[in-house]
Every structure is written in C-alpha cells, then in structure tokens.
Structure 1
Amino acid sequence: MSVANKQWFGLPLHLLWGYIAIAVFMTGDGFELAFLSHYIKELGFSPAQASFAFTLYGLAAALSAWVSGVVAEIITPQKTMFIGFVLWCVFHVLFLTFGLGHANYALILLFYGIRGFAYPLFLYSFIVVIIHNVKSENASSALGWYWAVYSIGIGVAGSYIPSFTIPLVGELGTLWMALFFCLAGGVIAMISLRNVHTPTHMHNLTTKEKLNELSRAITLLYTNRSIMYSSMVRIINTLSLFGFAVIMPLMFVDELGFSTSEWLQVWAVFFFTTIFSNIFWGIVAEKMGWMRVVRWFGCIGMALSSLAFYYVPQHFGHNFAMALLPAISLGIFVAAFVPMAAVFPALEPLHKGAAISVYNLSAGLSNFLAPAIAVVLLPFFSTIGVVIAYTALYIIAFFLCHFIRVEQPGFESSSDKTDKAVARAS
C-alpha cells in the first residue's frame, strides 16, 4: 500500500497536516461565532442590525464558496488557500481596529463582509485536495474527518477558548487572539501541502475556457437535476448551525439568564459532539448508503433536534445540564449530512471542480440564508418563528432527497443485491 493510500479509520494519513491546518485556522475563525452578535448588540446596535452583519458576511462567504472549487483547480488549491488566509488576516485587523474598535457600523459591515469572502477560499479548497487524493469509495469517510476537524476548530476550541478568555481580556481582546490561530493554520497548510498532488488539467486553459468552467458551477444547477436538488438539501443542512449561533445567544443570555461563558460552553458541546458524529456518519454512509443516511438521520434528526434546542431550555429555564441534551442531539444529526460532499462530485465525475463549487456555494448560501431568515422573522415571530421555519425546511429536504439519483462507488443498494440474487437463482 502506498503512502497516499494509508488510512486510519478513513483518515488519509498523507493529508494529516492539512487536516490539522483546517482545525487550527477554523479555531481562530470560530472565536466570534457564538458571541459576536451579542457583542455587536452591546455596542449599541439592534438585534436586527447584528443579524444583518452576519447576513452580509454569509453573502460574501457564499460568493467566495461558489468560485473556490473551480479556482482551486485552475490555480491549484494551495494558491487559493494562501490567498484566503492572507485576506482573512488583513481584513480581520481592519475589522477589529476600525469597525468594532470605533463602533462604526458601516465599517463593521464593510470589513466583516470582505473578511467573509476570505475563509471559504482557505476552507473549501482543501475539499478539492481530498477529492483528488482519495479514492471515490473512501471519499465519505475522508470528508467525515474533514468536517470533524472543522468542528474541532470552529466549534469546540473556537467556543471553549473564548469562554475562558472573555472574562480575562474581554470580547475584543479575544478576537485579537483569533489572529494568532489563523496565522498558524495558514502557515501549517502552506508548508504541509506544498508537495501534495493537485489537479493540473486546467492550468493551460485559455481565459475564455476558464470562465466557461467557472460558469459551469451555475449551469450545473439546471443541466443536472440531481445537482439542483442536492444543492437545496446542502443549503438546508446547516441552517440551524449558522442560525442558532445568531439567535440563541439572545435567548440564552438575555432571556433565560445564562452567562455568555455558559452559552459558549453549551455551543461548544454541540460542536464537540460533531467531532465523533462526522466520522461516524462518514463511515456508516459507505455501508448504509449516502442518501439513506442524509434523508433519515440528517433531515428528520435535525428537524426534531432544532425544535428541542428551543423547547427544552424554555421548559427547564436556566438549567445548564438540560441545555446540553438538545445540543448533543443537534451535534449528532447535523453530521448525518456529511455524505453530501461526496455526492456532488459523484454526480459530475468529469467536472468535479465545478460540482464541488456548487456544493461550496450551497454551503455558503446556508451561511447567508440562516441569519437572513432570522432577520426577516425575528421582528414578527420572535425566536420560535425562526426555529419553526428551520424545522419546516428540514422536512422539505427529506422529500427532496427522494429525487436525488447518485451511484455510490463500492456500494450496493438492497435492490442491487436482490437483482443479483434473482440473476443467480435463474
């Protein structure tokens, strides 16, 4: 077995330091996730204004996510990751200095929005590295590890560390600490991935051909119906993740009496759970079937868990132990969507970069739409209205999964096995 094929429970060992780079970088990027909306509100802005900052951030992230897959194939994932990490560091400094530092809402929107364009270039380009360095039949488990280290960074370390540093150095000081982690993650990636195989077939394309390939990341949505349905399901996948990060600090801290540190620890438990559930569902999906896992455990599990994340704390009040239960449930079932990252390139094997770009666009749109839904519904229906909207969309995703037709490498469905059994019997 070659070095490139060595795995440990589905983790491709030759890409180990790339996974570590993602975890470290996303730790810095995740510092703000669970408290920034509350901090912006404390600076004198309304909850709707705080949510709008996240909405704009998500829109920039969606645009960046859309181009990242194809750009990574055109100029190499390593160069794309380098551009993303440099942009992140520069505009993070500007965001803290001139935006939050001066409580200037216009500059908050400007610099935070531009910074939102940076992290998907770094984060999602690594998916291209994985797809081109791991066998198709092992893609689900390799991507499960990808989302596991993502969770370790943005959720666990990114939530737990601020829960201890905020009482010591405050919110703004904690955000300055994030810069160190993103610098470290970027450097690790640049060093560890410099000799990793990456696609070269697009390097010699003309500018027109490169633009055509980039546009394919949109045209696939209407030329391949399964891609379109898959995109919708992927958008719905993380609505609660990104939406709850915006609306739940307001409910837990302002309404139920949790401290910011307690809320951050609840949120960290959610992400801590996803470390194991991402790996678990990635491996299970290779045996049970990608879409079966997504449909029955992802869609239904997230619909029920989203409701529980609201109603359990409302019923038990300021009860830290009980608040952890729906957080754990949410962490288990949000990871059941992990196989979707393998579904997209399998649906378009000749245009994997464009397919990954559609996947990334969908992930970015989820980042955008989750707070956008909150902005629209909060003034009229409060937190419960947003939660019900997310729940309804998970039910819609359940039905959309029925229309996605994908052949899973190395997997036989029950109908395939029945057909073979009938053939042998005849």
Structure 2
Amino acid sequence: MQTATQQEKPHLIDRMGIPRPLLWGFVGLLLFMIGDGVEAGYLAPYLEGQGHSSTRVALLFTVYGVAVSISSWLSGPLSDLWGPKKVMWTGLWIWGVFEVLFLLLGLQPNNYQMMMVAYTARGLGYPLFAYGFLVWIAAATPARQLGSAAGWFWFAFSGGLPTLGSLFASFAIPRIGEMGTFWSSLGLVMAGGLVALLFTHEARGTQRLSPPDVTLKQAMFGSISIIWREPKTLIAGIVRTINTSSEYAFLVIMPGVFTKLVGFSLEQWLQLLSIVFLSNIIFNLLSGMMADKLGPRTVVAVGGGLGAAISVPLFYYVPLSFTHNFPIAAAMGVLYGASLASFVPLSGLMPQVCPREKAAALSILGLGAGASTWVGPAIVTWFEGWRGVEGVIWIFSGLYVVSALLTVLITVSPEARAQIRRDEQRDNQMNREAAMHAVGNQ
C-alpha cells in the first residue's frame, strides 16, 4: 500500500501536464521571472523621474530588446551544443553580474551611458535561462505531454514577468524604497536560478543534444535556415513578435498615461499591471484547452489577433473616459491580458508544422518573442512624435489584425501529419513495452 501511495502523488503532477523530473525547474523559472519582472512596471517612470526623456527611456528598452532577441535565438543552438543546463547557468550568471553593474554604476549615479551598457548586457541573461529551459522541456518531455508542458512554461514565465513581479514591486516600494526594490529583484532571480539548477536532475539537460559531429557553425546555421526551408516558421515568428510587442511598448508609455491622465498612483498602476497579467497567465492555460477543441489556428487568429485588435484601444480609451475608476480599468486590462494569452497555442502548433525539427521551430518562436521586446519600444520611439500615444495604440491594433491574417497561413502539411502519426505510434509502442516490462518485474 505504501508503494502505491508514493507513486500516486507524482502521477498527479504528470496528469496536470508538468513533467515530473522538471518540476523544480518550473518552480525556479517562476521565481527567476518574478525577479526579472520586478522592475517592469516602474523602471520607465523611475528613469523619467531622474530627468531622462521618454525617448531616451524607449531607446534604452529598444537596445535591451535587441540583446534579448539575439539571446533568445542563441538559446536553441547553444543548448544543442552545450546542453540546456549549462546554457541556463550561463544566463543566470550573466543576469546577476550585469544587474550589479547596472545598479552600482548606472542607476545609483544616474549614468545613462553605463545604464545602456550594463542593461543591454543583462538582456542576454534571462533568455538563455528561460528559453534554455524550454529546450530542456522539448528534449525531455514525451510528445503526448509537450503541449501542456509548454503551457506550464508560459504560465510560469508570464506569471513572473510582469505579473507577480509587478505585484511584489507595488508592495515593496512603499516599504523599502525604489532602489531597495531593484536590489531585491537580484535576490529573487538568483534564488530562482539556484532552485531550478540545483534541484533538477533530469539527465538530458546536462547532455549535448545535437550529434557529436555537428559544429557550432552548423548548429547556428541550422537554427536559422529553417526559416526558408519551412517558411511557415517565419510567419509564426512574425506573429509571435506582434503578440507581445504592445506589452513592452505599454511598459514605456502606459505608466505616464495612467498616472498623469487617468489619475492613478504608481502603486495603483503596478497593481493594475498585475491584474492584466494575472488574467494573462490564467488564459495561458485556458487557451491551450480551447485550442484542443477549436484548433490552435482558430484560437490564435480570433482570440489573439482579432481579440487584441479590439482590446488594445479599449485598454486606452475606456480608462481615459472613466478617470480614477480602478475597477473599469481593471476590466479592460483583463480583456487585454486574455487576448495576449490566446497566442499561446503557437507553441503547440509549431512542433506539428515541423515534427522533425521541433527545437529549431521553437527557436524561431523564441526569436520572435525576443524581437517583441525591442519592436514594441521601437514603435514608440519612431511613432510617438507623429500622433502621440493615440497613434501608437492604433498602430498596434492594426498589427494585430495583420497577425490574424498571417495565422491563417500556418497550416500543417499532410507530410507533417503523417510524421506525427508515426511518432505517436512509436511512442505508444514504447509505452506498451515499458508497461509490459514493469508488469513482468512485479
């Protein structure tokens, strides 16, 4: 009886869609991303309060985003060559070292040039850690469980950045001050990284994933050549870039809108941001379930593309029409967060489009996710002077309509479907053999 009881709890974790050997990795990822998201809602207003223009702040975020996008792409081939765990260690130490430099030499003396250097370099850190873990998930998770595991990855990722990170900041700033809160983010990131890396012992994460004869040049080329070998990955990468580009733009422009025009305090803005992304993480899981019933393309195109095209202007215009009204602003934020979450089924769709090159296809989504961190602020930098914040809002609304149209083109070919069936048959056969082997040993 004791053995059966001991086996029951781990199987519950599997039924939830979390691969048991990687459980502590998900916990550590959540803590890491909480730390990374602490500054998300207040770094821009803090810098503007120190005398930096919104244009300079947007430029800082844009250059940081370029570093993030490069690192997001590198996480795939480097994981193939070094093993995901080593890539995650690299990302953790890059984040920690350059955060210290960013705070000591950039923020505290208010040195914009050092901020630019240290913050940009720190941008290489979190994608190596987070997307290295995503590659680890793809390598160690059975095909039948990969979709739900990817959903839990994005649940932990967006649960930290910026949902719980911003909520933590809203309570920490009044108690330990803005600089103290910046320093606390370092502690959270290091704690999360160590939890993930010291408590996760799944063997494939420590191993090179590509064949021994694959060189660095070949690995790098293969992870980008898939764009023209399978153009649907390029389309998906563009859709993924549009997905969260408004999020990173809003971190630059919306603090001013809500604190200066809508009439919220900084703490209220941070709490609103937490509500937006609490909605996002809940719908990250729900959108995956809906994709199983309605199909991933339908959820992404309708719920994501068209939904965000409507929710973005609502999130701007409705709070301006009902100033000082937190519940109404929160309701619009929930709609916005849910529409962004409706893009999550892309992570399940791409392995179906490229069943032989799942990691490479996911690396293009990672590249798109990284690109969104600079595309969003870049749109602010380029177009805010043209039509102000209102013009930026309608640019993003139009981009989401484009993303809906592009999603229709991401189809699964008959050849890919045949490969998926063969993979499922192979997995089922292996599971039957393992079950028979276990029965024979009893």
Scaled by the length of structure 2, what TM-score is found? 0.88
* Structure 1 residue 125: Cα displacement: 1.0
For residue 248 of structure 1, the aligned residue among 254, 279, 303 is 254
Q: Which amino acid aligns with 1:29?
A: D
Aligned residue for 2:131, secondary structure, equals helix
The answer for the alignment partner of 1:31 in structure 2 is 38
The answer for the alignment partner of 1:296 in structure 2 is 302
The answer for the alignment partner of 1:399 in structure 2 is 405
The answer for the alignment partner of 1:258 in structure 2 is 264
Distance 1:75 1:344 in 2: 24
For residue 205 of structure 1, the aligned residue among 213, 218, 236 is 213
Distance 2:211 2:192 in 1: 26
* Structure 1 residue 214: Cα displacement: 1.0
The answer for the alignment partner of 1:56 in structure 2 is 63
Find out whether 1:342 has 2:348 as its counterpart.
yes
Find out whether 1:375 has 2:381 as its counterpart.
yes
The alignment of Structure 1 onto Structure 2 pairs a total of residues equal to 408
Q: Is the 8 A contact 2:245 2:375 kept in 1?
A: yes
Aligned residue for 1:403, secondary structure, equals coil
Deviations 1:155-191 (A, max 9, x none): 2320111111112222211000001101101101111
Distance 1:379 1:253 in 2: 20
Higher alpha-carbon deviation: 21-30 or 276-285 = 276-285
The answer for the alignment partner of 2:185 in structure 1 is 178
Aligned residue for 1:11, secondary structure, equals coil
* Structure 1 residue 284: Cα displacement: 2.2
For residue 154 of structure 1, the aligned residue among 161, 168, 187 is 161
* Structure 1 residue 4: Cα displacement: 8.7
Deviations 1:291-318 (A, max 9, x none): 1211111111111111111011111012
Q: Is the 8 A contact 1:141 1:286 kept in 2?
A: no
Aligned residue for 1:375, secondary structure, equals helix
Q: Is the 8 A contact 2:79 2:209 kept in 1?
A: no
Q: Is the 8 A contact 2:22 2:202 kept in 1?
A: no
Distance 1:361 1:151 in 2: 17
Deviations 1:218-269 (A, max 9, x none): 2222221211111111111112221111110011112222111000000000
Distance 1:175 1:305 in 2: 31
| Percentage of pairs with the same residue | 35
Aligned residue for 1:374, secondary structure, equals helix
Higher alpha-carbon deviation: 282-291 or 380-389 = 282-291
5 Å matches for 1:22-421?
22-198=29-205, 200-202=208-210, 204-207=212-215, 210-406=216-412
Deviations 1:369-420 (A, max 9, x none): 001001111122111111111110000011111111125758xxxxxxxxxx
* Structure 1 residue 6: Cα displacement: 5.5
Deviations 1:21-64 (A, max 9, x none): 11000011001111101111111110010111110110000000
Q: Is the 8 A contact 1:140 1:286 kept in 2?
A: no
Distance 1:144 1:244 in 2: 24
Q: Is the 8 A contact 1:151 1:275 kept in 2?
A: yes
- Assess, with a 3 A threshold, how the Cα gap between structure 1 residues 375 and 4 changes in structure 2: closer, same or farther: farther
Scaled by the length of structure 1, what TM-score is found? 0.91
- Assess, with a 3 A threshold, how the Cα gap between structure 1 residues 137 and 184 changes in structure 2: closer, same or farther: same
Higher alpha-carbon deviation: 327-336 or 189-198 = 189-198
- Assess, with a 3 A threshold, how the Cα gap between structure 1 residues 203 and 86 changes in structure 2: closer, same or farther: farther
